[in-house]
Chain A
Amino acid sequence: MAPEAGDPVEVAVVGWAHTPFVRHTERSETELLMEAITAALAPLGLSRADVDFTCLGSCDYITGQAFSFVSNLDAIGAWPPKRDSHVEMDGAWALYEAWLRLKEGDIEIAVVTGSGRSSTGDPTLIYPMEMDPYFLAPLGVDPLTFAALQARAVIAAGIADERSMAEVAVRSRGRGDVDELLAEDYLRQPLRRHDVPPITDGAAAMVLATGERARRLVDRPAFVAGIDHRTECHNPGFRRLDDSPSTRLAAAAAGLGDRPVELAELQAAFTHEELLLRHVLGLGDEVAVNPSGGALRANPIMATGLCRIGAAADHVAGGGTRALAHATSGPCLQQNLVCILEHRP
């Protein structure tokens, strides 16, 4: 496929890397990023000095410290000083900012990261703090409960059932028996342990490059055909939980309807989320969903979405034609990002 008309600056993923995903590490976020950034740049023959722009994605509340991203400047090697930014969002949104910056046309190479050590905190205490501070946070509803509410709505709508959810878990983790899993007790009805993500520490780094530079760096850059993100009403009680209109809007704006994708990497931390997202995106059985295992296999918060884009880029780099990646934030899939990557000769 030829570059889109009206796409004067093409942007592509040319490489990425991540640390081992573990239940807990004593290494600092800065150390994790140091390793991931070096591992992403080295195979390209690039050093930190070649990077024109950096954008980091992380969250103070996950790290447990205000200004936690400041020390991560050591990992990007900001000397001489760098064009640099930070988003209090998943690294997928850091990629979005870098994509915009590269589109301005004056620079060629960007590094984006996502990092988090969620093992150091208690999700049931942390996540209520991202809710409306007046009406929702005081209820102390944890993420598992919100997910269970959405799972019930998705089941009631006929989009999923407990068996299909267990099948997602078995396929994602590559282990387990559906009947045995369904015999287990509920954590929050209808969610069982296999329906929920692991707690994971880790970091990921990705290298983006503009058109010709990307083609010189690697054989098959994964060009960003489109990227878009949308948000919804915050209060899960005020919106339909068996739908995800923001995902649909973002996918349309990213160009999902232009040409079919062979693969989709969805940031579905809970099994029913994958089934809902497949439904909303209209992905048929011919589309491979989350062959990486997705967030159910490793869920390094603030990097999980960026890893979906990385896995989609791997598909294109490995000979695929077109792949979709999705990232999400907020309770019950409040905010969603869709990035479509493609091969361009």
Chain B
Amino acid sequence: MTGRRCAVVGVGQTHHKSRRLDVSFGGLVREAVFRALDDAGMTMADIEAVVLGKAPDLFEGVMKPELYLSDALGAVGKPMFRVHTAGSVGGTTAIVAASHVQAGKHRTVLAVAFEKQSEGNAQFALGSGRGASLGAGGAFAPFIRAYIHRSGAPEHIGWKVAVKDRRNALKNPYAHLRIEDISIEKVRESPMMWEPIRFLESCPSSDGAAAIVLTDEEGGRAAAADGRPPAWVLGTSSRSEPPSFPGRDPVRPAAAVQCAADVYAQAGITDPRRQVDTAELYVPFSWYEPIWLEAYGLADEGAGWRLVDDGTTELDGALPINPSGGVLSTNPIGASGLLRFAEAANQVRGAAGEHQVDGAKVAVGMAYGANNQYFSTWVVASSPEPWG
């Protein structure tokens, strides 16, 4: 990693639902923040700076909500920072918060991300209310068709991912979708939304928030000595590429490949398939699991779908992907990236509960945004020096 060492010592999230009518924006973020602070054995007084992430303000109709949320987040008298990097923003929020520690500016920092999508119309906002507002599924379907064409993957791969993630979600008490009778047949028979993406291969629209507490090496070691294992940040990386030009490959984006290479180099990972124990990848539509497995070097190019087909990515497989149920089960857009990073941290802390991957020591958290253009990734581990 770059700069000084940094560790995650607290993780919290809300219960996610289509409509959290029981809480205000402030109430929503505080639910996640207090869980993270309790987990860290801290109070707001221990926090030196706050970083807030969320996707477009047009989703809720509140401009620069970090201003209004300064009080609810206990940020008065402290630095309050606001990040927005499209769908990857939750991951970027963790990365920028970690940067406060890695740069030596602050010792203990709170990263918070939320979306309260029921307050507005995400589909409308994704298109800024212009034209047909075709939304994320409409934008991503051509990339998925291209992946299938290129890799020759059979169509049941998407259905399998959809079933796996929803089954994992049944083990996650915070997950939004709880589809007890999920099955291949049920996914296959669900309505076609954007060829080849079916309804049950798509993410929900959620109200929810996530929060993590990051601290320096001394804080991480103190937590460990106190019997509260931290997740050590081995590397963080962001990469962006332009919207469109001849030569750009949105199915295997150069930004994703470089982001992965950068973060693995920082973490000392030379063989990701073997060295990474589990990954929380941003998979809002089922086919993105094999797409990201390949771009992130967790599978050979063209072979990501085989890891889905042979059960490698199941919770009890050799490389469990999205043990939390992932974006397919819970999607408060701005928070979805931070949930990936937070769930990866909980895995290596041994704190993932029923969806814990046995013996997970090194985990990847990843988020992407816009038209496969913004990538945020971190590698966390149970030890600051896992390779000895």
Which residues from chain A sit less than 8 Å from chain B, CB to CB? 59-61, 64-67, 69-71, 73-74, 77-89, 93, 96-97, 99-101, 103-106, 126-127, 129-134, 136-137, 228-235, 245-246, 249, 329-331, 334-335
Contact = CB atoms under 8 A, between A and B. Distances in A.
A87 B241 contact: no
Given A84-B238, A233-B70, A335-B80, A101 B63 contact: no
Contacts of A85: 83, 85, 92, 96, 238
A73 B371 CA distance: 12
Contacts of A134: 24
A61 to B, nearest CB: 4
Interface in B352-382: 370, 373-374
A126 B62 CA distance: 10
Interface stretch (B102-110, B215-223, B320-328): B102-110
A61 B373 contact: no
B64 A78 contact: no
A231 B70 contact: yes
B64 A103 contact: no
Given A66-B58, A84-B240, A97-B99, A103 B105 contact: yes
Given A97-B81, A231-B70, A232-B76, 10 more contacts: A61-B63, A74-B243, A79-B254, A81-B253, A82-B241, A84-B239, A89-B82, A100-B105, A106-B2, A229-B79
B79 A130 contact: no
Contacts of B241: 73, 78-82
A305 B225 CA distance: 44
Interface string B59-87: 11111101111110001111111111110
B79 A231 contact: yes
Interface string B151-195: 000000000000000000000000000000000000000000000
B243 A82 contact: no
A73 to B, nearest CB: 5
Contact of A88 (B57, B79, B105, B239): B57
A230 B78 contact: yes
CB-CB nearest 6 A-B residue pairs: A104-B3, A103-B103, A81-B255, A66-B56, A84-B240, A104-B2
A267 B374 CA distance: 31
B63 A70 contact: no
Contacts of A334: 67, 70
A215 to B, nearest CB: 21
A101 B98 CA distance: 10
A97 B128 CA distance: 27
B163 to A, nearest CB: 31
Judged by DSSP, the binding face of A is mixed
Given A228-B79, A230-B78, A104 B243 contact: no
Contacts of A131: 67-68
Nearest to B84: A88
B68 to A, nearest CB: 4
B20 interface: no
B239 A126 contact: no
Nearest to A235: B71
Nearest to A64: B128
B251 to A, nearest CB: 15
Contact of A87 (B56, B83, B248): B83
A82 B240 contact: yes
A84 B255 CA distance: 11
Contacts of A67: 56, 86, 126, 128, 370
A330 B83 CA distance: 16
A130 B62 CA distance: 6
A141 B255 CA distance: 43
B17 interface: no
Q: Counting chain B CB atoms within 10 Å of each CB, which of A88, A89, A133, A137 scores highest?
A: A88
B242 A74 contact: yes
Contact of B68 (A73, A101, A133, A245): A133
Q: Counting chain A CB atoms within 10 Å of each CB, which of B75, B85, B243 scores highest?
A: B85
Contacts of B370: 67, 70
A133 B241 CA distance: 34
Contacts of B85: 84-86
17 contacts: A60-B84, A67-B86, A71-B243, A73-B242, A81-B255, A83-B237, A100-B102, A103-B105, A104-B3, A130-B62, A133-B61, A134-B24, A229-B79, A231-B76, A234-B68, A245-B77, A335-B80
A134 B23 CA distance: 12
B242 A78 contact: yes
B25 interface: yes
Given A59-B64, A80-B258, A129-B61, A100 B103 contact: yes
B103 A101 contact: yes
B191 to A, nearest CB: 26
A155 B262 CA distance: 55
A73 B3 contact: no
B125 interface: yes
B239 A130 contact: no
A73 B373 contact: yes
Contact of B67 (A78, A82, A229, A330): A330
Given A130-B63, A329-B64, A86 B2 contact: no
